[in-house]
Structure 1
Amino acid sequence: MMLSYRAPLTQIVILGMASLMTSGMHSAYFSLKFANGATGQSTTVISTGGSPFYWSAVIAAFLGGGLLNIIKPKHQVFVGGLSYSLYIALSAIIQQSPPPSPTATIVQPIASVLLGVGTGLLGSAQAALVMIYPTEDRKASYFATLWLLICLGPAMGDGMAFLLDSVNPKFTVTTSTSAAFAMITFFGSFWALSMCDPSTIIREDGTAVNPPEVGQISSELVQLGRLLKSPRLALLLLYLVTSNYFYYWQSTAINVHYFSLRTVHFNSVGFWLAQGVGAWLMAWILDSNRPRRTRAVIGLVVVLASCCVVWSGGLLYQFLAYNDVLPQAGADLFGLGSTPNAAAVSILYVLMGAVDAMFQAFAFWLVGALTNDYATLARFGGYLKSMQTLGVTLSWALGSAGQVRPSDQCIVIVVLICLSLVAAYVVILALQDTSKAADAALLEESK
């Protein structure tokens, strides 16, 4: 069946394509930069600028949920997307005058903050719309569609880096390459303007999306403050933080630490493609015809079982195989320097990608199950993305500063997963089979 242009799923695909051409191409570009020999820093520092980016993204994502009730989603996605082309352009300038030059010293933190704000605005819009547009029985499928498109960007970038590094390890990222990626991300941000207004969207069951009247900044700030007092969101706080906390350890302690540069990119391709598989597996479970609470319990059990398998492997790797190779060399699956455990560690890393997506998919579905109200879900989306960004921020800050050893970080992750799943189960116990009655009461209160 052909989807109309104004169909909710079509709009999510348009949003996904905009994300692919902005944040996705940003990841692709810096995968090439990392392969270009910038091995003295992690890809995270190279592609974001570190601390200024993360903390500005946390704040912008939280506020972005309320902003979505004031401006049109396409304008928020447009502004968020522009930050990626601007950051790539500024990075090319910094490349010509690297630190500690005055130009780099001034431009780098400014560029990082701008990217953080843009990332927060784009991420909050993605999180909100993927919960607002679908019907109650399609929320996980919509997330999986969007997530697959988002993950294609870094997968493409690492694929290109793997091929280039295999053919010519000394290739360089030229100014022309930077300009090309800046133009692609620039086009992607304008692509977002092709999204329809939410007021014209009709869901598959015939219900209208019904965005609220344009809100006031002061009232939205009050509503955002009230989110922090919500018992359900307080219970989900740990789960949301955990859902992005483990990325830093996986990238640095497994992939970058253990493998050669070429194999890092090869593994990353599998990692990001596995994310799409994991998201769709959860969609199949969470969008089934069973009662909502039953689906939630099954989903939680699947996430728990998956985490037990891969993080048991993670603990075994950390305490038995972590020191198998010298960080300066790294195991190479395609040449000299491989170790007996290299293939197993590579598979473990890819499987972690699938489980990460399952963990995240459940987070989006669970928050989306709390209500169908547009204004509320917009704020929930900002809160969700902000707490997820807080998770990776804390993990990065502790790990990059050397305050927490990789072995301790691994244990912390396992403990966080266990505690967050318990908190998620408490939220599940209060789930109703539909949010329509609660939404009707909310509507009456707002009149």
Structure 2
Amino acid sequence: MRFEGNLDQESATPPKKSLFRYNSPLVQVSLIGLVCFCCPGMYGALVGMGGGGQVDPTAVNNANTALYATFAIFGILGGGIYNVLGPRLTLASGCSTYALYAGSFLYYNHYHHQTFAIIAGAILGIGAGFLWAGQGAIMTSYPPPGQKGTYISLFWSIFSMGGVIGGLIPFVLNYNRTEAGSVNDATYIGFMCFMTVGTLLSLAILPPSKVIRNDGTSCTKVEYSSVSTEATEILKLFLNWKMLLIVPAAWAGNFFYSYQFTNVNGALFNLRTRGLNSVFYWVAQILGSIGIGYVLDFSLPSRKMRGYIGIAIVALLGTAIWGGGLATQLKYSRHNLPKKLDFKDAGSDYAGPFVLYLSYGLLDAMFQTLVYWFIGCLADDSETLSRYAGFYKGVQSAGAAVSWQIDTRKVPFLSELIVNWSLMTAGYPLLLVLVMLAVKDDEEGEDGADKEVASSFAH
């Protein structure tokens, strides 16, 4: 039977169901990807140089401890703030804190005072909580139900390109400074320019009520919430068994960055090579996200089975990569560092550690895409998913705050690797339980629009 809608409803739906409408999920998810390309993507490239591009990693370790401590609080609160303020205010205020952080290391390059960097890190933690709660809500609620893995991998690919370009900045600007210990001023200024552009781009994001899916449905009818409602709902998250099952994976999700960026990339390679490594680290992130996104959306008809297969793939690959990391780590220690490697070094001296480092990037993207996919399976509305995403980022950031401070305390590299490997491994069994109990199979209740939208994508 053909549905006869009123003129207002028909006029609200574009006559041609194009994926490239400004108010389509595809365009809006791509826009939030570009925002994150400019802000957290560049931040990732900055810290990925090891020590924030400085000789002594103490300043960046302390700044990132402050960053993730405030991020842990405002990540959890961010979902509620997003629901009250809407995407534009939330995202723009969050993005505006990134350039300040990069600027603090420009200041540190001249005066070597940590205080500004630590304060800027704490402020960035607040902003990052806003940004990532909004990003999580957009990425998981705007797409059609049957295409969430695809859209998550699309976002992750665009976001990771920020790390690719951000890695080229220190590589190009410091190419002839092979013996230098810290990057030049132009490197930090380049990061600040991109971060400012990201803040302006965030103003182009539409609220969920104005985003129309390809089948003509709105992403959500909720426009604004209240502070009291959000405070109550955020508190309920700590008693939500689904969220509690995600906690170990969330805690592990950013825990390994301090080890990989500082104690692998920073410890093994010279300055220009760290920038080149960052390029390929984020290229590997793109490939990993696309690969696992395909598995989670298209590999099998059953959503539950796709979840089980996704966990198995990431767990097996993670075991292999961390095993390779262990083999490399046994060759050096915090008190017995090898000569810094250069990408022009002949033979396998550079090749082996390089492949390991880009494999860490591959695993990171696959692991986080997997967890975001599970979060997206738990609800379909922006209001709920903003809280779930905020909770995930809050717990993840609490773990990161601990990890950066662990590295400041000069814990042995080998101990850090074992803890990272163990934390990530502990998350897999609980994700299996989540699939078993909370992820609905297609025939058990997946939105009927799912198949219609999937069909429209195919044609």
d(CA) in 1 for partners of 2:60 and 2:147? 33
Aligned partner (choices 145, 149, 157) of residue 148 of structure 1: 157
Q: Which residue is equivalent to 1:418?
A: 425
> Is the 2:46–2:52 contact (alpha carbons within 8 Å) kept by the matching residues of 1?
no
Is 2:30 the partner of 1:13? yes
> Is the 1:331–1:339 contact (alpha carbons within 8 Å) kept by the matching residues of 2?
no
Aligned partner (choices 274, 295, 304) of residue 285 of structure 1: 295
> Is the 2:173–2:184 contact (alpha carbons within 8 Å) kept by the matching residues of 1?
no
d(CA) in 1 for partners of 2:222 and 2:243? 22
Pair 297,352 (structure 1): closer, same or farther in 2 beyond 3 Å: same
Could you give the per-residue CA deviations for residues 265-297 of structure 1, whole angstroms, max 9, x where no partner exists?
Answer: 222211111001000001110111511101101
Please, which moves more after superposition, 254-263 or 25-34?
Answer: 25-34
Pair 324,75 (structure 1): closer, same or farther in 2 beyond 3 Å: closer
Aligned partner (choices 132, 140, 144) of residue 141 of structure 2: 132
Q: Which residue is equivalent to 2:377?
A: 369
Could you give the per-residue CA deviations for residues 64-110 of structure 1, whole angstroms, max 9, x where no partner exists?
Answer: 011111111122111111111233345444545442xxxx64x4443
Secondary structure of 1:69's match? helix
Aligned partner (choices 50, 55, 80) of residue 69 of structure 2: 55
Could you give the per-residue CA deviations for residues 11-56 of structure 1, whole angstroms, max 9, x where no partner exists?
Answer: 01111112222233445567789686x21126844xx823221101
Aligned partner (choices 403, 412, 429) of residue 395 of structure 1: 403
d(CA) in 2 for partners of 1:39 and 1:172? 9
Q: Which residue is equivalent to 1:251?
A: 261
Pair 70,269 (structure 1): closer, same or farther in 2 beyond 3 Å: same
Q: Per-residue deviation at 1:427?
A: 0.7
Q: Which residue is equivalent to 2:328?
A: 317
Query: RMSD between aligned alpha carbons?
Result: 2.8
> Is the 1:22–1:81 contact (alpha carbons within 8 Å) kept by the matching residues of 2?
yes
TM-score normalised to the size of structure 1? 0.87
> Is the 2:208–2:220 contact (alpha carbons within 8 Å) kept by the matching residues of 1?
yes
Is 2:180 the partner of 1:166? no
Q: Per-residue deviation at 1:339?
A: 7.7
Map 1:227-266; keep pairs closer than 5 Å. 227-266=237-276
Is 2:408 the partner of 1:386? no
Which amino acid in the other structure matches residue 352 of structure 1?
Y
Map 1:3-402; keep pairs closer than 5 Å. 3-28=20-45, 38-41=54-57, 44-45=60-61, 49-99=63-113, 105=115, 107-169=116-178, 173-174=184-185, 181-288=191-298, 290-319=301-330, 321-322=331-332, 327=337, 329-335=339-345, 340-402=348-410
> Is the 1:58–1:390 contact (alpha carbons within 8 Å) kept by the matching residues of 2?
yes
Please, which moves more after superposition, 161-170 or 278-287?
Answer: 161-170
d(CA) in 1 for partners of 2:189 and 2:443? 47
Q: Which residue is equivalent to 1:429?
A: 436
Q: Per-residue deviation at 1:151?
A: 1.6
> Is the 2:49–2:278 contact (alpha carbons within 8 Å) kept by the matching residues of 1?
no
TM-score normalised to the size of structure 2? 0.85
Q: Per-residue deviation at 1:309?
A: 1.4
Q: Per-residue deviation at 1:323?
A: 5.0
Please, which moves more after superposition, 58-67 or 261-270?
Answer: 261-270
Q: Which residue is equivalent to 2:453?
A: none
Could you give the per-residue CA deviations for residues 168-214 of structure 1, whole angstroms, max 9, x where no partner exists?
Answer: 4469634x765564344223212111122211111234321114242
Could you give the per-residue CA deviations for residues 112-157 of structure 1, whole angstroms, max 9, x where no partner exists?
Answer: 2211111111111111211011112111111111112222222212
Which amino acid in the other structure matches residue 57 of structure 2?
Q
Q: Per-residue deviation at 1:226?
A: 0.3
Secondary structure of 1:49's match? helix
Pair 344,86 (structure 1): closer, same or farther in 2 beyond 3 Å: closer
Pair 277,405 (structure 1): closer, same or farther in 2 beyond 3 Å: same
- Listed as ranges, the gaps of 5+ residues in structure 1 are 441-447
Secondary structure of 1:68's match? helix
Q: Per-residue deviation at 1:436?
A: 9.2
Pair 313,362 (structure 1): closer, same or farther in 2 beyond 3 Å: same
Please, which moves more after superposition, 324-333 or 193-202?
Answer: 324-333
d(CA) in 1 for partners of 2:333 and 2:47? 28
Please, which moves more after superposition, 404-413 or 326-335?
Answer: 326-335
Please, which moves more after superposition, 24-33 or 222-231?
Answer: 24-33
Secondary structure of 2:83's match? coil
Pair 365,349 (structure 1): closer, same or farther in 2 beyond 3 Å: same
Secondary structure of 1:245's match? coil
Pair 33,237 (structure 1): closer, same or farther in 2 beyond 3 Å: closer
Secondary structure of 1:166's match? coil
d(CA) in 2 for partners of 1:32 and 1:341? 19
Q: Which residue is equivalent to 1:443?
A: none
Please, which moves more after superposition, 420-429 or 382-391?
Answer: 382-391
